[in-house]
Structure 1
Amino acid sequence: MKYLLPIVLIISTFSFQKSFSQTSNVEDPILKSIEKHGSSFIKDKDINSVSIGIYKDGEVYTGHYGEIDKGEGNTPNNETIYEIASVTKTMTGYLVARAVLEEKIKLDDAVIIYLEGDFSNLQYNDTPITIKHLLTHTSGLPKFLPLEMNNVFEKFDEHVPEEYIKLERSYNKKQFLADLKNISITEAPGTTYLYSNAGAELIGHVLETIYQKDIDQLLKESFLAENNMFNTAITLDETQKQKLVQGYWMNNETQSPNQLNTLWATGSGAKMTMTDMMQYAALQLNTKNPVVLESQRVLYERGKTFKIGYFWRVWNDKYGRSYNHHGGTSGMQNWLFIFPKYNVGISIMTNQSGPKTPNKLSKTVRKILKNIIEE
C-alpha cells in the first residue's frame, strides 16, 4: 500500500554548527539549500524522513525532515542513529590503510596466510586472492555468504526484510569460514569487478587476526575517539539503542528489523548519527592525515572512469577528484560524498530503502553541491 504523508504532518528541523558547536543561522545559503532539497525530498510519496549533513571549511550544517515512524510526527535530529550499511566499508578501508602504514599487512598478501586450515581454493591457477582484491571487489568471491542471501535481493518484493533477517539470524562466523572453503574461483583475482560483501567481511577476520582485537575496539582506537565520534559503533550500548531508528522497505507499512551483524560487520554493520558522519567527512578531508591519503589511493582502474581505492569509489569530473560510497539495508539508505576541491563533505540519510532510493539520494547530493559552489 502506498502512503502519502499529509501536508500537516510534514515536519522539518534544521540546525547550524560552527566548529561543531550549535548555533542558529537560518539565513545561511547552505542551510537554505538543505531546506530546499530536504523539503523537496520528503514530498516523494515513498519517503518518510531524511537527514542531510554538509561539512564545509570547518563548519557543519544539518537538516532533518519528515517523520521516522509513519503517522507519529517524530522528526529525526542530530541524535538519531542510522544504520549506514556499506558506507561502513570505507571505515574498514581506513583500518586496512592504517595496518598497511604500520607494516602489519601488505596489499599483495595472499588472504590465506591469515586463515587457519585449508583454503587452497581461494586462488585461480596459482594466482591467490590478496588483500587488495578484497578492497577493490575483484576477488571473485560472491556478493553474500551464505549463498542463499544472494537470492533475497533479486526479487525486490515485500518479503525481503523478513527473509534477510531469517538468514542472518541463522548464520555466524564459523559457518562463514566453512562456506568459504567451498567457494570456487573461476578466473584470476584482480580481473573483474564484482561487488562482494563477503570479501569485506573476510577483511574483518583478517583485521581481528592481525590486531587480536574486535572491530569496535579497532574503530575506537583508530579514529572514533580522537574525532569525538561517540555515537558510532557496530555494537551499540543500551542508551544508543534507544536512538537507533528502524526503516521501511519500499512501500511496506511495517518497519524492517535492524541488522543483527552476526559476522564481523566490516561490510555493513556500523551505525552513527549525522553529527558523527560530519566528523567523519572532516576526517576524510584532512590531507595531512597519512591514513586518509592511503585509504583514498586508487588501487584498481577499469577504463577511463572506474576507479576504486580502499573501498572508496573514486570519481573525476568537473568537480575534481571526489570519493563516494552508498549504503543500504532493508530499511535505510545513505550516501556519502567527499569533494576535496571544495573542502566539502555531503551525507544524506533516509529510513526508506528500495531499488529507486540510491538514485534519489545521489541526485539530491549533486543538486546541493551545485548550490554550494555557485554561492
Structure 2
Amino acid sequence: MMNIKAFILLITCVISASRSMAQVKTDNPVITQLDKAVNRAAMQYMSDSTANGLNIGIVYKGKTYSYHYGENVKGTGKLPSDDLYYNIGSIAKTFTGTLLAQAVIDKRIGLHDDIRKYLPGCYPKLQYQGHPVTVVQLANHTSGLPGVIRDLYPEEKIKLRELSFAGQANYLSHYNADSLQQDLHHVIPDTIPGTRYRYNTNGVMLLQYILERVYSCGYKKLITEYLQTRLGLHHITPILDRKQMKLAAQGYTKDAKPQSYVNLEGYYIGPSINATMHDLLGYVRAQLDELDPAIRLSHQLTWTGPNGFAVGLNWMSNTENATRYFYHEGNTKLGFNSLCTIYPMKQLGIFIIANDVHSQEKIGQMENTIHNAVKQ
C-alpha cells in the first residue's frame, strides 16, 4: 500500500507536470463553435508543462482563422505570431511533390520514367530484377531504395555527438549533389519498385536533385519562383536570409531548452522549408481550391495501400466516411512539430505548428478535435 509520503509526492509531481488553463495566454476570443473547439483542443495540449506554444491556422469555407497559445520565447509572455518563420519539417516534401507536378506539366519529366534517364553517368544497380526505379516511386515512397544512402563512419558519428546542433547541421550540409551522385553508384533497391510503401526521405532528396538537373536551376529558386508567381506567396523559402532569420520563431527541445535556428542545407538531411503561418494558410487555401494544375496533379493518387491509405505526390491520403483527405506531418530538430491536413470536400484545411517537440501524437489529437467540431 502506498504510504502518505509517497502519495503526497505523486500528487506534487502530477501538479507540477501540468498548468491551469488560466496560466495559458491566448488570443482566441472563444465565441464561435470553431473558437471553442480550437480552445478545447489547444488547452488539452498546453496543460502539460513541457508544452510551450501553438500556432493554429484554419481555412474553412473560404474564411481564414488564426489562433495562438503560450509563448514564442519562454518567460516573455509574448504569443507566437503569423509573421514568424517556422521550419515545417517533412511537410516540406509536399512542396517537392508540387514542383514535380509542375515539371510534369512543363513536360520536363515523365512520372513513369526510369530515374536513370535524369542522372549523369551509368547506374546499373538502380534496378531490382530488371525493374527500374521510376520518378513517381520517389514521390510515393515505393522506390525500394534504402533509407540511408550514405551511412556515416563511426568516427564521424562520434564527432557529430560532440558538436552543437548548429555544428551538426553545418557538417552535414557539406554532403552535396556530388556526394549524392557518387553514393548512388553503390545503392541497390531491396524489392521490386512500386510494390511496397516505406517512408523514405532519401527518395525525396533524390527527387529534388533530379528537379534541379532538369531545370538547370537550384531548388531554392525553383520553389520560390513557383510559389511567388503561381500562388502569390513570398514568405516561404528553403533558406532564410539574415533579415528573415531575425524573424525566426524560437523552437524548444524535448527537455524544454531553446534550440538555435539554423538553415538546413545539403543533401543529407532532406528537403527543408521555412515559412510564416500567414503564407502557409495561403498554401492551404491553394490546396483546397485546387485551381493550380500542379496542385491538382499532386493530389492524384499514385499508390494505394490497405484500409484506405494512399499516396499522391508526397501527400499522404486516407478516407473517413468515404471522404478522402490529404495530410503530412513534420518534426524537426530545430524544435518544432507540425501537421497539415486538407479536407477538400469539407472546404477545411488545418495547419498546426508547436514551437516545442512535446508530442506529435497530441498534435494529431488536436487536429482531430477541431475537425470533428466542424464536420458537415
SS of the equivalent of 2:352 reads strand
Pick the structure with greater CA Rg: 2
Partner of 1:231: 235
Q: Is the 8 A contact 1:64 1:77 kept in 2?
A: yes
SS of the equivalent of 2:50 reads coil
SS of the equivalent of 2:259 reads coil
Pairing of 1:317-336 with structure 2 (within 5 A):
317-318=320-321, 320-330=323-333, 331-336=335-340
Identity %: 27
Query: Aligned partners of 2:78 and 2:93: how far apart in 1?
Result: 30
Give the one of 322, 339, 363 matched to 2:365.
363
Q: Is the 8 A contact 2:240 2:263 kept in 1?
A: no
Q: Is the 8 A contact 2:69 2:80 kept in 1?
A: yes
Q: Which amino acid aligns with 1:281?
A: V
Q: 1:288 to 1:253 in 2, by over 3 A?
A: closer
Pairing of 1:152-171 with structure 2 (within 5 A):
161=165, 165=169, 168-171=172-175
Partner of 2:25: 11
User: What's the offset of the Cα at 1:289?
Assistant: 3.0
User: What's the offset of the Cα at 1:26?
Assistant: 6.0
Is the deviation greater in 26-35 or in 268-277?
Answer: 26-35
Query: Aligned partners of 1:146 and 1:250: how far apart in 2?
Result: 27
User: Do structure 1's residue 222 and structure 2's residue 226 form an aligned pair?
Assistant: yes
User: What's the offset of the Cα at 1:161?
Assistant: 4.9
Q: 1:58 to 1:186 in 2, by over 3 A?
A: same
Q: Deviations over 1:247-287 (max 9, x none)?
A: 2232242425535222398x431011111111001100123
User: Do structure 1's residue 89 and structure 2's residue 103 form an aligned pair?
Assistant: no
Q: 1:359 to 1:78 in 2, by over 3 A?
A: same
Partner of 2:3: none
Q: Is the 8 A contact 1:38 1:63 kept in 2?
A: no
Partner of 1:138: 142
Q: Is the 8 A contact 2:330 2:338 kept in 1?
A: yes
Q: 1:146 to 1:257 in 2, by over 3 A?
A: farther
Query: Aligned partners of 2:19 and 2:45: how far apart in 1?
Result: 14
Is the deviation greater in 104-113 or in 365-374?
Answer: 365-374
Q: Is the 8 A contact 1:84 1:327 kept in 2?
A: yes
Query: Aligned partners of 2:200 and 2:76: how far apart in 1?
Result: 37
Structure 2: stretches of 5+ with no match in the other structure: 1-13
Structure 1: stretches of 5+ with no match in the other structure: 15-24
Q: Is the 8 A contact 2:208 2:271 kept in 1?
A: no
SS of the equivalent of 1:41 reads helix
Q: How does the TM-score come out when normalised to structure 2?
A: 0.85
Q: Specify which structure has the higher proportion of helix.
A: 2
Query: Aligned partners of 1:94 and 1:261: how far apart in 2?
Result: 20
Query: Aligned partners of 2:227 and 2:258: how far apart in 1?
Result: 36
Cα RMSD of the aligned pairs, angstroms, is 2.9
Runs of 4+ in structure 1 deviating by more than 4 angstroms, as ranges, are 2-9, 159-164
Query: Aligned partners of 2:327 and 2:46: how far apart in 1?
Result: 23
Q: 1:353 to 1:163 in 2, by over 3 A?
A: farther
Q: Deviations over 1:319-356 (max 9, x none)?
A: 711000011111211000000111010011012226xx
Query: Aligned partners of 2:173 and 2:188: how far apart in 1?
Result: 25
Partner of 1:243: 247
User: Do structure 1's residue 99 and structure 2's residue 81 form an aligned pair?
Assistant: no
Partner of 2:36: 32
Query: Aligned partners of 1:200 and 1:248: how far apart in 2?
Result: 27
User: What's the offset of the Cα at 1:372?
Assistant: 1.7
Query: Aligned partners of 2:107 and 2:200: how far apart in 1?
Result: 25
SS of the equivalent of 2:237 reads coil
Q: How does the TM-score come out when normalised to structure 1?
A: 0.86
SS of the equivalent of 1:79 reads coil
